[in-house]
Amino acid sequence: MIVFDTGALIALERRKQRAVQIWMTARRDKMDIVVPGAVIAEWWRERTDVREKIVAGIIIEPVGDRLGRAAGEAIAGTPGATVVDAIVMALAARLGAPVFTSDVDDLENLRGFFPGVRVLAI
């Protein structure tokens, strides 16, 4: 299981080589790609065939109470952290999964609250 953030979805949509390789490897190895619903809101601007195909190949995790609280606590203790980044990290921590991102520094800033999460560049 792996987690994608908004930047990873954008890279995949733009068919960036590393993003496509990660996607294909996950498919080949039958690994789930999980994305919090908040990432969809940040990424989705209009319907396209490419976006529909991406959404069909991922698991979208709702942001519930537990995930929201964990993200909120991380934001409170991390100056400059965004809600979506904190939700991504909280989800990855809950799942014990690595995160793929185009914004490694932003997510690394949240590792004080989520020390077990591996943050990997897309």
Q: Three-class SS of residue 73?
A: helix
Quick one: which H or E segment has residue 75?
helix 65-76
Residue 13 is predicted with a pLDDT of: 97
In this predicted structure, what is the pLDDT of residue 74? Answer: 98
Residues of the chain with pLDDT under 70: none
Task: Tell me the domains of the chain and their CATH numbers.
Answer: 2-121 (3.40.50.1010)
- Listed residue (56, 90, 64) closest to 75, CA to CA: 90
Q: According to the model, what pLDDT value does residue 18 have? A: 97
Nearest to 90 by CA among 60, 63, 50: 63
Burial 99-122 (b: 16+ CB within 10 A, else e): bbbbbeebbebbbebbeebebbeb
Nearest to 40 by CA among 94, 4, 73: 4
